[in-house]
Amino acid sequence: MPEDTVGRLRGKVAIVTGASRGIGQAIAVRFAREGAQVIAAARNADDLAETAAMGAGRIVTQRCDVQKATDVQALITRAVDEYGALDVLVNNAGIAVQKLLVDTTEEDWELTMDTNVKGTFWGLKFAIPVMKAGGSIVNIGSVNSFAGEQTSSAYVTSKGAVLLLTKNAAAETAHLGIRVNIVCPGSTETQMSRAYFEAAMGSADAADTFTRTFAPLTGMIPPEDIASAALFLASDESKSMTGSSMLVDGGLLASWDHVTPH
């Protein structure tokens, strides 16, 4: 991660959920290095130590299970009480259960929906009332917000819901000066994605070859590239955008013709 910044979020207060690793960590660190005061949240507070250490002294941490309304409300209340405002919220926390529809249990379904959809809902519900001077909410969707995929029925459904929740929230809050947008990543170089593709393909080399066949520009996308998209939507550079989806997929949806490994 480059140390030099241009301060695009200088003076802003931001919350990033699911910030202990992967995309969430990359976003929290990038925001801090662009001048924001960041509250990085995750279910296990101990897992956030690395994120905080990378934040140039501008990242504090808090335990938050986004499935729980009280946790999310406490997170947003902290931003206002300690820093006087909440300018940016990134609803990133999410999980993926990779099973065929007929193999998906009720527990799988509820865990996925409670984390990916309800977690985003709680963030929106509690952030909107405190963004009195306007603000930016960035939800994290997926290429699966637009297209189905074998072995991921619950996940695909949840990310489709997040896309439309984003659009509806944008319509409801534009008159308040609040922007709500969504970043939709393709296969990103995270522990979760890497483990999935290596298990499916049998080796790291085979996984890299496979991912490049359906994302010809990049193969697996660096989390920092997703952070760059989130930064743009969080900053004033996107002040005329709301209800928009930003696809960062390395060309995947340009030709959706791959077969999911299983």
Positions marked active-site: 155
Q: What is the 3-state secondary structure (H, E, C) of the chain?
A: CCCCCCCCCCCCEEEECCCCCHHHHHHHHHHHHCCCEEEEEECCHHHHHHHHHCCCCCEEEEECCCCCHHHHHHHHHHHHHHHCCCCEEEECCCCCCCCCHHHCCHHHHHHHHHHHHHHHHHHHHHHHHHCCCCEEEEEECCHHHCCCCCCCHHHHHHHHHHHHHHHHHHHHHHHHCEEEEEEEECCECCHHHHHHHHHHHCCHHHHHHHHHHHCCCCCCECHHHHHHHHHHHHCHHHCCCCCCEEEECCCHHHHCCCCCCC
Nearest to 28 by CA among 44, 41, 43, 10: 41
Residues found in the chain: 262
Q: Which residues are 179's β-sheet partners?
A: 136
